[in-house]
Amino acid sequence: MISLASWFARFAASIFCLLFATLALAQSYPDRPIRLLVSFPPGSANDFVGRLIAQSLTVRLGQPIVVENRPGSNGNIAGDVVAHSAADGYTLLLSSGSLYTVNPHLYAKTSLDPFKDLLPVVSVVSDELLLTENIGLEPKNFNDFIAYAGRARPPLLYGSIGNGSEHHLAMELLKDVARIQMTHVPYRGGGPAAIGVMGGEVTAMFGGGSVTPLVQAGKLRALAISGRKRSQLFPNLPSISEFYPDYEVTIWQVVSAPTGTPPEIVARLRSEANAAIAQPDFAEKLANAGAGEPYSTTPQEMAARLRADDTRYGKVLSGSGLHVE
């Protein structure tokens, strides 16, 4: 029979070995290429951010970060792949925060529980959205657009990058505060939605990096900004909150890993990503692409943001009755 002293000695030895092995794992990580799944299609603002952070981390980690686009279901498809991958730090996800804060309220059936199956590692970028319209429309400013939409019969069609995206909810929130009716037409990504607006399939949309160059080229008309502050890129555009004080939609993107990823690897990824987005050229490239600005948070700040957005969007979706099977 093993004595209590002997058991404690063996237990202490096992803990020491585990700690040593974990430390060795973190020191050797990474020793092969890392996959970064992006939950939206090529050409989207998310894709641009994914490739930008992948490029920076490739240099800092000394291993290639291979970007793989897996669009669909507002991030659920890519999230499900990552959630069911090995929790070793070699399969990561770049998604919108809506994967955590919108999808659980939107999708009636899904195999992914983001708060259970995924671990938010580091926030990367935050961005406001541009409200844009077809340049052939009568209204030339935000107030005129609201009036135009209010009297349109049948209701105007508007596009988004997909059901349940912040781009979709931004317009639903605007409909609510402005007391107007519009009909949603979901597209598979920002590029197709922007083409829909330009071609007259729909009249308007909220967009980020997918619409910014089109506004600059005069192919779409920008009317307002969804965030509480005016855009540095479009300083003459009003914030919607200037007309409706309670209105705000700010989107943010986050790198996640499978739940169970060793904390030392998570800490390494967080540290290197935060160092990457702190570089001046990172912010400059984001600004030039109209893809937002660096958004660095502590784990505690990220958790608070997730809780706040989860509550806010949950109320919007429960009030609208919108669900996707």
Neighbouring C-beta atoms of residue 110, cutoff 10 Å: 17
Compute the distance between CA of residue 82 and CA of residue 36 in angstroms, rounded to an integer. Answer: 9
User: Which residues face 159 on adjacent strands?
Assistant: 185, 205
Supply angle C-alpha 191, 95, 252, rounded to 5. Answer: 85
- Alpha-carbon distance values, 90 to 35, 48, 113, 275 (Å): 6, 21, 20, 19
**Looking at the predicted structure, is the pLDDT value of residue 38 above 90?**
yes
Q: Is the peptide bond before 235 cis (omega within 30 degrees of 0)?
A: no
pLDDT of 113 above 70: yes
- pLDDT (0 to 100) of residue 25: 54
Binned at pLDDT 50, 70 and 90, residue 159 comes out as: very high
| DSSP 8-state assignment for residue 59 | H
Segments of 154-308 assigned E as strands: 156-160, 182-186, 204-207, 220-225, 250-258, 293-294
> How would residue 21 be classed by pLDDT, with cut points 50, 70 and 90?
very low
Instruction: State the angle between helix axes of 263-277 and 280-289 in degrees (0 to 180), rounded to the nearest 10.
Output: 70
pLDDT at 157 exceeding the cut of 60: yes
Q: What is the mean pLDDT of residues 285-299?
A: 90
**Please, which pLDDT band fits residue 291 given cuts at 50, 70 and 90?**
confident
- All structural domains of the chain: 32-127+251-320 (3.40.190.150), 130-242 (3.40.190.10)
Tell me the pTM: 0.78
